């Protein structure tokens, strides 16, 4: 989506040069007209670029698309090493989780029907990996174990897509929501696959069934 903005930026540069040429030629009104067009194009680029830049962190969300795979290895008492593989890129990350269950949240952008007519597809981004304890730690009976959370998004300042923006302008283009995945039990050697299915996250265990969670 940055291609059209690059064209607009090029137009702003070209009209600025034309305005300078008209000014040197003594054509003041023509120079002013070109300068107004250049300023308008530059304003469009400045206002739109932050939104488009952050969209590069998102991937296209196809129906039933696998977005991640997780593999767990026990590393201690109620502690696991989780290998997260982003799909379809294959990029991997390793996390040390504590507790009994894990959950993966995904940021989801769905375009309005009008925007969809332009060929825009729904987008997603892995947002957060969390773990929690559902039973007291065996090595510290009665001591609460705080949940762990890992941000998976690329930090680029204030992401305009990181939270929904109410209003007629935003609502006419897209709706941004967080899809919380279902809590799943961690276990030594367990492998899970996370898919996007009909606006929900579906988690499939290699040794179990499926659980789905819709946005809250």
Q: What is the pLDDT of residues 96-129, one digit of tens each?
A: 999 999 999 998 888 777 766 667 788 888 999 9
Same domain assignment for residues 119 and 27:
no
Same domain assignment for residues 140 and 185:
yes
Same domain assignment for residues 51 and 90:
no
Q: Which of 45-49, 54-58, 126-130, 181-185 has the lowest mean pLDDT?
A: 45-49
Report whether 132 contacts 147 (CB < 8 A): yes
- The model's pLDDT over 139-157, given as tens digits with 9 standing for 90+, comes to 555 555 667 899 887 655 5
Same domain assignment for residues 14 and 94:
no
The tally of domains found in the chain comes to 2
Same domain assignment for residues 21 and 85:
no
Closest CA to 72 of 82, 58, 84, 87: 82
Same domain assignment for residues 51 and 64:
no
Same domain assignment for residues 193 and 105:
yes
Tell me the whole-structure pTM to 2 decimals.
Answer: 0.68
Contacts for 116 with CB less than 8 Å, ≥ 6 apart? none
Report whether 192 contacts 203 (CB < 8 A): yes
Q: Which two tokens stand for residue 163?
A: 């939270």
Same domain assignment for residues 112 and 69:
yes
**What is the pLDDT at residue 141?**
55
Same domain assignment for residues 26 and 121:
no
Three-class DSSP category at 62:
coil
Biggest distance spanned by C-alpha atoms of the chain: 86
Instruction: Indicate if the pLDDT at residue 192 is higher than 90.
Output: yes
**Domain containing residue 22:** 2-55
């Amino acid at each position: 989506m940055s291609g059209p903005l690059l064209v607009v930026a090029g137009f702003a540069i070209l009209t600025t040069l034309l305005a300078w040429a008209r000014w040197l030629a003594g054509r003041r009104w023509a120079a002013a007209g070109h300068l107004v067009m250049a300023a308008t194009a530059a304003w469009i680029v400045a206002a739109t670029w932050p939104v488009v830049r952050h969209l590069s962190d998102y991937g296209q969300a196809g129906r039933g698309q696998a977005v991640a795979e997780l593999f767990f290895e026990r590393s201690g008492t109620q502690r696991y090493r989780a290998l997260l593989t982003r799909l379809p890129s294959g990029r991997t990350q390793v996390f040390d989780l504590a507790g009994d269950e894990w959950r993966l949240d995904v940021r989801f952008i769905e375009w309005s029907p009008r925007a969809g007519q332009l060929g825009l597809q729904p987008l997603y981004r892995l947002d957060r990996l969390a773990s929690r304890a559902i039973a007291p730690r065996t090595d510290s009976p009665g001591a609460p174990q705080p949940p762990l959370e890992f941000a998976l998004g690329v930090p680029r300042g204030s992401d305009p897509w990181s939270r929904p923006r109410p209003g007629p302008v935003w609502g006419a283009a897209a709706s941004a929501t967080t899809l919380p995945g279902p809590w799943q039990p961690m276990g030594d050697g367990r492998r899970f696959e996370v898919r996007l299915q009909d606006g929900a996250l579906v988690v499939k265990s290699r040794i179990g069934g499926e659980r789905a969670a819709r946005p809250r």
